Amino acid sequence: MSLLLNRTSFGNLSNKGNALSHVEAEKLFEEWVLNPRLKLHMKQVAHLMKCWSKEKENLNQEDQWRWEMAGLLHDADWDQWPQLHCKKIIEELEQRNVDPEILHAIASHGPAHFGVEPETKMDKMLYAFDELSGLIHAYSLMRPNGYEGMDLKGVKKRLKEKGFAANVSREDISDACNRAAITTEELIAFIIPRQSQVN
Residues contributing to the site for Fe ion (CB under 5 A): 75, 130
CB of 133 to Fe ion, least distance (A): 8
The CA-based angle 143-145-151, given to 5 degrees, is 70
From the CB of 131, what's the least distance to Fe ion, in Å? 8
Question: CB of residue 170 vs Fe ion: minimum separation in angstroms?
Answer: 16
**Rounded to the nearest whole angstrom, what is the least distance from the CB of residue 130 to Fe ion in the complex?**
4
* For Fe ion, the closer CB: 101 or 130: 130
Q: Which helix (H) or strand (E) holds 75?
A: none
Does an H or E element contain 148, and which? Answer: none
- Rounded CA-CA distance 93/20 in Å is 9
Residue nearer to Fe ion on the CB measure, 100 or 110: 110
* Distant-in-sequence, close-in-space partners of 41: CB < 8 Å, separation ≥ 6: 75, 133, 134, 137
If the CB atoms of residues 59 and 89 are measured against Fe ion, the closer one turns out to be: 89
- Closer of 15 and 72 to Fe ion (Cβ): 72
Neighbours of 65 (CB within 10 A): 22
